A and B are shown apart, each in its own frame.
Chain A
Amino acid sequence: MAPRKAARVQIDPAAVNSESKPQQTGQVFNIWYSKWTGGENNGREGLVHSKTRCNVELDSGYTRADKHVAADSVNGDKYFCLYFARGCCCNGKHCEYLHRIPTEMDNLPPNVDCFGREKFMDYRDDMAGIGSFSKVNRTLYVGRISNLDGNIELELSKNFGQYGDIERIRVIKSKKIAFVTYRFENQAQFAKEAMYGQSVTGDVNEALNIRWASEDPDPSAQKRNKQEMERSALKKAQKLLEEMNRQRLKEGVKSVKESPTTDHVATDPASTNPPLLESSPSIIINTDSLSALRKLKRRKIIKKHQDSIQTPLRTILADYSSDSD
């Protein structure tokens, strides 16, 4: 395995000054979005070629976000650096966000994208932006490809393949567009930011327009999508059940170990048993194991709390863990 290296600083912070603003296209400059507003086109300058680009091989590395994270653990709460994806993060290894491409082990909440930005119920009318949480979309629309000569599929594969595992690429030459499907949704989100305004061949005048793809009307593609969805759902269910089984075993072992010690600590003997039987979704998902003792203490307090507020926090797995005891 390659040694872990620190993330590289992509652009020199000293190089960022007042002149690195985009060309004035509006009246007021918004420093938060680094965009002009007001004026004739409301500050819109159209799509221009991006000044920076993320070079995954050179730039990726560990940052503060994953410095102390074990190599093969599931990531559930660390987000990716948007500036890294765009190729302009000037923090390097001091960045609070991840500087690498998303993989299978990144299991982030479904209502935010891999950069931690909130998704919406529906897509925008132009299919740009962060996207929707009501559909898992792994396909990107690629528009404004200037040069379609030669083997454009290989070129696209070369460019888009840097940012994730490509499942398939389809080019429609008559419309000068392409569709790129990734293996994971995270990778599509990352590539969407990374390839926006870039060029396929290195041509400065080319600026790709990347958006979410709408559903493929081809019946065979729809059938394939349906099968893929079923397969992935089954896989996820399998993982969930395995995780639950493992958790149950762990709980069972721990309850045996912990019970004598908790008896010393706990003044109320009745409270030691029922919380153990309750298993919660957080445990299923959470892979970093909380110590049983800590869990016990917490449960005791939460239990009382819950009874008073009766939120739907209670969970189902109650009886599942009981048979292991």
Chain B
Amino acid sequence: MSSYDENTTPAVCERCLGDNPYVEMTRERNGAQCKICTRPFTVFRWSIQKGGEFKKTAICLTCARTKNCCQCCMLDLSLGIDLNTRDQLLKMAGVKDGEYSKDVVHNAKNEISRIYNADQLDRKFSREEIKDNSEKAKDVLGKITKLVESGSGKGETTKKSKNKVRGADDEKITKEMLVKLLKTLPFNGNLSHLPKNERIKSFFLFGVGDETPNYLIEEFFKDLVKDSTDRSERRMVNAVFVNSKGRFGFIEFSSRSIAEMAASKLNESKSEKIDNKPKLVVIDRTSVRVCWAGKVITSGSDYSNSELHRIAQVVRKQMIKLAGGGGESTKRINEESAAITRKKAKVVHDYKALQADYEL
């Protein structure tokens, strides 16, 4: 049982306490079980506004003290951020476990061990004075500031390195295999010729980075058609799906007219003159080729892992081929292949300049 002390006051942050300095609280001894250590603890209830909803403490004082968090909202008491983020930041800043907060109770999986650990901590805390955590926190904050300052550059590099293409070893792709794939995945499609089938309102994308989230693709196309669409259609993009292993995906627009508009917008943008190729766009720092989808839109889960692996290879080859085959300058080929294979940081840096060209 959490030790009960007549003088206990809750450890609650100022945001939870509200503006009124004369907070009225009710105190209930052993009113609930602590959400972390499962021992009963003293529950305090109060409300910020008169007649407003009540706030109450959800974890015991011992647990709150170990984690240095508010008993009510469980945000860090000194930094005001949530504990998951704080712990992550501390890990990144290289602060050792237990230096800032001690998390033994939390780590125990077993309920009995949690209670035991909490009791031990209780005993320990009763011996030592309540220290002002501000010195430590200031130190931590300084470290975090340093981390953020250095981290912005670091984040870029991690982002780049993870776009590696897996399975660079070339397996032979049989002709039948290729034919089968091309039936459903139009790697040689284009955006300039409208498909006759009026029901087709989707684009096929390939070369999509395996980290690119769907919403970025959606946003890219939404931005494209944003200003020119009729207001009646709120939701312009119906659905997006990307298969990260096969590095391909589809985007479905809400109507044919919007799809046509997006196609014409993409065609307008200055780039290659040759029209019968998939259009090159840059989404999330990855070059992506876009063209009209065929009649059938296959789902990624139709393919087995090895098939997806092959598709990824085809995608890579096709990207290189398209970049080189169109009579473009050799520089662009280099950039393109570098973007895909990600071998040299310098070329990738050059490639970034290319991005501006395609920004619409």
Contact = CB atoms under 8 A, between A and B. Distances in A.
A183 B219 CA distance: 13
Interface in A72-131: 76, 109-111, 118, 120-121
B327 interface: no
B83 interface: yes
Interface string A224-240: 10010111111011101
Given A157-B239, A281-B15, A312 B133 contact: yes
Contact of B106 (A134, A153, A229): A134
B26 interface: no
A282 interface: yes
Contacts of B158: 227, 230-231
A166 B134 contact: no
B157 to A, nearest CB: 11
Contacts of B234: 2, 57
Interface in B231-250: 231, 234-235, 238-244, 250
B35 A233 contact: no
B158 to A, nearest CB: 6
Nearest to B53: A116
A294 B68 CA distance: 28
B216 to A, nearest CB: 9
Contact of A233 (B9, B85, B133): B85
Contact of A109 (B74, B77, B141): B74
A290 B141 contact: no
A151 B241 contact: yes
Residue from A57, A133, A173, A224 with most neighbouring chain B CB atoms (10 Å)? A133
Contacts of B58: 111, 118
A265 interface: no
Contact of B138 (A234, A294, A313, A319): A319
B184 to A, nearest CB: 10
A165 B237 CA distance: 12
A70 to B, nearest CB: 19
A315 B85 CA distance: 19
23 contacts: A118-B35, A134-B84, A136-B84, A151-B241, A151-B297, A157-B241, A161-B240, A168-B214, A171-B300, A173-B301, A230-B92, A230-B158, A231-B155, A236-B85, A281-B15, A282-B14, A290-B19, A298-B21, A302-B21, A313-B12, A314-B134, A316-B133, A319-B138
A157 B214 contact: yes
Contact of B162 (A227, A238, A298, A317): A227
Interface stretch (B142-150, B191-199, B346-354): B142-150
Interface of B: 9-15, 19, 21, 35-36, 58, 65, 68, 73-85, 88-89, 92, 106, 130, 132-135, 137-138, 141, 144-145, 147-148, 151-152, 155, 158-159, 162, 211, 213-215, 218, 231, 234-235, 238-244, 250, 252, 297-302
Contacts of A286: 15
Interface of chain B: mostly helix, strand, loop or mixed: mixed
A310 B148 contact: no
Given A153-B300, A155-B239, A285 B144 contact: no
A152 interface: yes
Contacts of B84: 110, 134-136
A311 B300 CA distance: 56
A170 B273 CA distance: 37
A224 B161 CA distance: 12
A150 interface: yes
A148 B79 CA distance: 47
Contacts of B301: 148, 152-153, 171-173
Contacts of A298: 19, 21
A285 B80 contact: yes
A171 B302 CA distance: 10
Nearest to B166: A220
Contact of B137 (A120, A294, A316): A316
